[in-house]
Amino acid sequence: MTTAALEGKIALVTGAGRGIGRAIAQRLARDGAAVAVAYACDERAASETVEDIRKNGGRAFALRAQLEGHGGAARLWAAFDAVGKDHTPDGKLDIIVNNAGIGSGEALASLTEDGFDEVFAVNVRAPFFIVQQGLPRLRDGGRIINISSGAARLAMPEIIAYGATKGALDTFTLNLAKELGPRGITANSVAPGIIDTDLNAAWLRGNPQAQAHAASLAALGRIGQPQDVADIVAFLASDDARWVTGRVIDATGGAGL
């Protein structure tokens, strides 16, 4: 009998109530991990993620922590310690997936300082301090996976600040890999292209023209699905990826080739 790839592991996935984070949580649970499903506001979506995982024989628990203000990482870990103790009595974990993120649809000319601070707070500051404060809890041999974006590599002035947050996240990943290598911890980014989630709902859903354009940007000729990203994360989380660290794994289906 084969053992599931992540049997006995504990994973934390931020922004796991919906979208890409939900698919990551479902996939890691399917691979045997007990998954902390972190969310900001949408309790119903997070409960659905947890219920779906449990229905399929997996283990999961939801925890609420808003990451945008100061102290977001501390709130997250306090919630993890409180809610997770049945799953991880020693408070340790094996996999941290920094997935929660927000967009910023402003161009250079219109971006305000508040708008800049908001997107950097969720997309950069939160992952930075989640890792800093998570390191005493993360077991040696563990995994850090940061969800970046193709927008860090492809110039898209219409979302300039968002792209800059993901560039910062990738540089964070690079340095983490060097810093944590001696502990056998790998750190990698996964950089999706356009994925069909709520983040893109306003301009993509119900708009065939926008959908055709979005599909045409990928060499593989379609819009990405959350599972396309989750499967890459599952690989990075597994022992099979033990020799990959400090990398940005492209998950755009071949955009901008």
DSSP 101: -
- Please, which residues have CB within 8 angstroms of residue 12's CB and are 6 or more apart in sequence? 35, 36, 38, 80, 93, 95, 96, 97, 134
Query: Which residue in 228, 245, 227 sits closest to 236, CA to CA?
Result: 245
Give just the sign of the alpha carbon dihedral 20, 145, 194, 68: positive
Choices 26-34, 41-49, 132-140, 180-188; region in contact with ligand NAP by CB under 6 A: 41-49
Within positions 20 to 39, which residues make up the interface with ligand NAP, using CB under 6 A? Answer: 20-21, 39
CB of 90 to ligand NAP, least distance (A): 25
Give yes or no for residue 118 binding ligand NAP (CB under 6 A).
no
Give yes or no for residue 134 binding ligand NAP (CB under 6 A).
no
Give yes or no for residue 15 binding ligand NAP (CB under 6 A).
yes
CB of 61 to ligand NAP, least distance (A): 15
Give the three-state DSSP class for 161. Answer: helix
Residue with structure tokens 């709130």? 75
Q: Which of 77, 129, 162, 235 is catalytic?
A: 162
- Please, which residues have CB within 8 angstroms of residue 243's CB and are 6 or more apart in sequence? none
Let me know if 39 is a catalytic residue: no
Query: Which residue in 195, 199, 203 sits closest to 228, CA to CA?
Result: 195
Task: Out of 4, 5, 42, 231, point to the residue binding ligand NAP (CB under 6 A).
Answer: 42
Q: Give the number of residues in contact with ligand NAP, rule: CB under 6 A.
A: 29
Residues that bind ligand NAP (CB under 6 A): 14-15, 17-21, 39-42, 45, 66-68, 99-102, 122, 147, 149, 192, 194-195, 197-200
Could you list the active site residues? Answer: 162
